[in-house]
C-alpha cells in the first residue's frame, strides 16, 4: 500500500508525469531536429541555427510540460494537457490500482477527467510518437536514397 499521505502521493504523481512529458518532448524535439539536419542539408547555415533552437526548446520543455495557461489561452492551449492540470482539478492524481505508487487516476469519475485522459493520450503521447516515427522514417528514406545515388556513381 502507499505509505505516505495524499499530499506526498500528489507530489510523487506530479513528478512522474512531469518528467515523463519532459522526456517524450525532448525525444520529439531531438528527432525533429535530426530529421531537419539530415533530410534538408541544402539549406546550409539556416539549420546551423537549429542547435540554438534545440537549446532554447530544451530549456523551455519543462515549463511547457508542467504549466497550464490562464483563461485567455487559445483552444489548443486549453486542450493540451500539462502535468499541473490535475492540480487545477482537470483530472486527478491518486494511488495506482495496486496501491504501491501514485499516478494519474485512470478511472475517470467525471467527463472532465475523461477529457483530460483523452487529451493527454492524444497530445502528449500519440502526436509526439507519430512525429518521432515520421522523423526517423524520413531519415531512413533519405539515407537509403543517398546510398543508391552513391552506388550509381
Tell me: the pLDDT tens digits for 116-130?
Answer: 888 888 888 999 999
**pLDDT greater at residue 100 or residue 83:** 100
Give the C-alpha separation, 67 to 81, whole Å: 9
Residue 53: the pLDDT is 61
Residue 10, pLDDT above cutoff 70: yes
Residue 71: the pLDDT is 43
Residue 24: the pLDDT is 87
Residue 46: the pLDDT is 59
Residue 126: the pLDDT is 93
In this prediction the pTM is: 0.72
Q: What residues have CB less than 8 Å from 66, skipping those under 6 apart?
A: 18, 21, 82, 83, 84
**pLDDT greater at residue 51 or residue 65:** 51
Give the C-alpha separation, 28 to 35, whole Å: 11
Longest CA–CA span in the chain (Å) reads 68
**pLDDT greater at residue 48 or residue 110:** 110
Give the C-alpha separation, 82 to 102, whole Å: 17
Which CATH code is given to the segment(s) 6-62+87-152? 1.20.1070.10
**pLDDT greater at residue 112 or residue 50:** 112
Looking at every residue in the chain, the average pLDDT score rounds to 76
Amino acid at each position: 500500500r502507499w505509505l505516505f499521505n495524499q499530499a506526498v502521493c500528489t507530489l510523487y504523481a506530479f513528478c512522474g508525469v512531469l518528467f515523463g512529458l519532459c522526456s517524450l518532448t525532448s525525444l520529439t524535439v531531438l528527432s525533429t531536429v535530426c530529421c531537419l539536419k539530415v533530410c534538408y542539408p541544402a539549406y546550409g547555415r539556416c539549420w546551423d541555427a537549429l542547435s540554438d533552437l534545440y537549446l532554447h526548446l530544451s530549456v523551455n520543455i519543462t515549463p511547457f510540460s508542467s504549466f497550464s495557461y490562464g483563461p485567455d489561452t487559445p483552444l489548443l492551449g486549453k486542450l493540451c494537457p500539462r502535468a499541473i492540470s490535475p492540480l487545477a482539478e482537470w483530472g486527478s492524481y491518486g494511488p495506482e490500482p495496486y496501491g504501491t505508487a501514485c499516478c494519474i487516476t485512470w478511472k475517470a469519475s467525471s467527463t472532465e477527467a475523461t477529457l483530460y485522459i483523452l487529451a493527454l493520450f492524444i497530445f502528449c503521447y500519440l502526436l509526439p510518437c507519430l512525429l518521432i516515427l515520421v522523423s526517423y522514417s524520413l531519415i531512413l528514406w533519405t539515407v537509403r536514397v543517398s546510398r543508391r545515388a552513391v552506388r550509381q556513381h
